[in-house]
Amino acid sequence: MPHQLLSLEHFRHRLAHADALPQLVVLGILSGLAAGGLISLFRSADTLLQAWLLSGGAERFEELPDVYRLLLPVAGSLLLIGLFSCIPPQARAVGIVHLLERLSNHQGRLPAFNLLIQWLAAVIALASGHSVGREGPAVHLGAGAGSWLGQKLNLPNNSLRLLVGCGAAAGISATFNTPLAGVIFAMEIILLEYTMVGFLPVMVAALVGDVVSRALIGEAIVFTAPDLAIGELTQLPLVALLGLLCGLLAAGFHLLQMQTFRLLHWHFSIRFLLAGLLTGLVALYWPEVMGGGYDTIESLFHEPAPILFLCGLLVAKCLLTPVVIGLGIPAGLIGPTLFIGAVAGALLGAVDSLLTGTTHTGMYAMIGMGAMMAALLNAPLAALLAMLELTQNAGIVLPGMLALLIASLTTRYGFKLPSIFHASLLRQGLDVRQAPLAQILSRAAVGSLMRRDICQASSEIHLSTARTLLEAAPYRILVESDKRHFLLPPADLRHYIDSLPEQAPDDLNINLLSIPAHRIDTSYLLYRATLKEALDLLREKELESLVVVSNQEEPMGMISRQQIEEYYHQKQSLS
């Protein structure tokens, strides 16, 4: 057992460094296993509950009688009201926005109880036909599995942040068997950076999460798409027009959801009941709006639909989904985003087919799916890979890139809109975007830089004790008393001892609070903290040095502002 503890301690010590790639890959594997198992349970519960409620099978809400389509979302809202009434307010925070907030302000420490609430609430919302998706909950659950692993192992905060990214990638991968999209989603939206040290562990986690879900519950066949490709380059202007349309729809979605957030001061029971009623009423005319709508998306890949039907469905989904999510229904928006893009693409393809008789609408439905996701999430690369992996159709990459580019430019530069997730955080007064200084300092923990050559002393010591301390040649002496704790330069103590008479007795008392010396005020910081946290604390308390302590509050070393600044300048010069 002592040998195992030493090995774990060495493992933690290595993780404090920004270049601990082998250790991070091991953590990527473990987080992939944890996230893959949790997502498999989530997918199984969602599938089984929908199979029980819907006689036609999962996602077959269209086959329900009118009265069931009206009452099912209301019943789901009532269940959610009952669930949220039994839990404290802080446990009701779920989803990707909650994840980003915890990553920004709590070093990625996701509460386990919130994960349980996310699991239950998402299953209820999806099975009852609310116009939401399962991707947001999957990201939260996967990231939570990675965070839980890091917290249980008491890992440094710099590695905990990366574990959240690993879990998020594994969550997406395990949900749709799309490992590439999971990796890029985690880097583009969750971690907001691309580094080689971060990329490999996230890739390993996505791979393992995919394998685990396939092994436990089988392959997640979301879409069976035809092998379609652009016929002639003359179709590219229509593809560009589709990108512009998706950008406009994404901007409208974004603005409507932000406006609906103004109602968040209402009690959640009123908001949830209103969301259920709105969903039920819309579903009376367009039952396809219920749930994720993957069956409807797939049908648009294969067969054209009437133009008026597509127009009504597009308007219904674009108006309903941002309102439902803005009212606080605890599930995701990525699935509905894919739905809106697919319907917009099918509609544009149907209009062109009516005019020219040559277009296959399925190709435009596939392209629109990715363009809408790119525009709303501000994640074009993740959207492109998701479109490619979900359809298994390499022929749409070229036109897809054009549509994604124009859609992203429309929302990002035409309307000056950030990602829908980051906009939600900005509305709360939070900004998860990190400056270069914060990015570099968040990748390493204080254990990678701290000086360990310090020793402790009480405020009053004997002369013999002082001489013993100096023989150890410490860099600083940590002096602790009831009144004050500070760092003392050994040279000042030596100078005082040298000023004493030669015949001074060994048991002479020396008060380190009163001898002439340069006393450096300090504060304590846990060894798990990142260099960014250390610098923030130094600035907040106007200090020059901090003492790094263990979980048992035992001093392990010290770190100074100068060390952190030198580290930053060194890393900046290498980048």
Q: What is the pLDDT of residues 537-549, one digit of tens each?
A: 999 998 999 999 8
- 136-145, 450-459, 514-523 — most confident range: 136-145
Q: What tokens were used for 276?
A: 């259920």
Question: Six-digit token pair at 529?
Answer: 């903290």
> What count of residues does the chain have?
575
Go through the domains of the chain in sequence order and give each one's CATH number. 2-222 (1.10.3080.10), 233-427 (1.10.3080.10), 441-574 (3.10.580.10)
Pick 43 or 438 by higher pLDDT: 43
pLDDT at 213 over 90: yes
- pLDDT, residue 369, reads 94
User: In whole numbers, what is the pLDDT of the chain averaged over residues?
Assistant: 88
Helix 294-302 and helix 334-356, axial crossing angle in degrees, nearest 10: 20
pLDDT recorded at residue 1: 45
Residue corresponding to tokens 């779920």:
94
Written as six digits, the tokens of 18 are 């920004």
From CA 185, how far away is CA 386, in angstroms rounded? 9
Mean pLDDT throughout 332-348? 94
pLDDT bucket at 234, cuts 50 / 70 / 90: confident
Sole residue written with tokens 């395990």: 174
Q: With CA atoms as reference, report the closest residue to 13 among 550, 566, 510, 558.
A: 550
Whole-angstrom distance, CA of residue 529 vs CA of residue 12: 12
Poorest-confidence range of 34-38, 136-140, 224-228, 262-266? Answer: 224-228
What is the rounded average pLDDT of the residues 155-165? 88
Instruction: List pLDDT tens digits, range 376-405.
Output: 999 999 999 999 988 888 888 899 999 999
CB 481 within 8 A of CB 459: yes
End-to-end CA distance of the chain: 42
pLDDT at 575: 57
Q: Pick the residue with more confidence: 99 or 20?
A: 99
Does the pLDDT at position 361 exceed 60?
A: yes
Token duo for residue 26: 């091991």
Q: Which pLDDT score, from 0 to 100, does residue 223 have? A: 77
CB-based contact 342:300 (threshold 8 Å): yes
> DSSP secondary-structure letter at 190?
I
Mean pLDDT across the stretch 188-209? 86
**With left for phi above 0 and alpha for psi between -120 and 50, is residue 501 left, alpha or beta?**
beta
What would the mean pLDDT of 542-564 be, rounded to a whole number?
Answer: 89
Poorest-pLDDT segment among 28-42, 135-149, 185-199, 322-336: 185-199
- By the 10 Å C-beta count (0-12 exposed, 13-18 middle, 19+ buried), 508 is classed as middle
Residues 6 or more apart in contact with residue 196 via CB below 8 angstroms: none
DSSP state letter for 290:
S
CA distances to 99, 245, 310, 351 from 361, rounded to whole Å, are 37, 15, 12, 9
Q: For 62-98, what is each residue's pLDDT tens digit?
A: 888 999 999 999 999 999 999 999 999 998 999 999 9
Comparing CA positions, the residue from 402, 338, 407 lying closest to residue 378 is 407
pLDDT for 202 equals 94
- Condensed to tens digits (0 to 9), the pLDDT of residues 399-432 reads 999 999 999 999 999 999 999 998 888 887 666 6
Contacts (Cβ under 8 Å, ≥6 apart) of 548: 446, 447, 450, 524, 525, 526, 527, 529, 555, 556, 557, 558, 559
- Euclidean distance between CA atoms 161 and 149, whole angstroms: 12
Cα separation, 534 vs 357, whole angstroms: 65
- What's the predicted TM-score (pTM) here? 0.85
Dihedral-angle region of residue 359 (phi above 0 means left; psi in -120 to 50 means alpha; beta otherwise): beta
Residue 197: the pLDDT is 75
Decide if pLDDT at 183 tops 80.
yes
Asked if the model's pLDDT at residue 139 lies above 80, the reply is yes
Structure confidence at residue 39 (pLDDT): 94
Q: Which pLDDT does position 194 carry in this prediction?
A: 73
pLDDT in tens, 103-121: 888 888 999 999 999 999 9
Residues 479-538: tens digit of each pLDDT = 887 777 889 999 999 999 988 888 788 888 888 888 888 888 899 998 888 898 899 999
C-alpha angle 295-300-306 in degrees, rounded to nearest 5: 120
- Residues 114-151 as b or e (16 or more Cβ within 10 Å = b): bbebbbbbbbbbbbbbbbbbbbbbbbbbbbbbbbbbbb
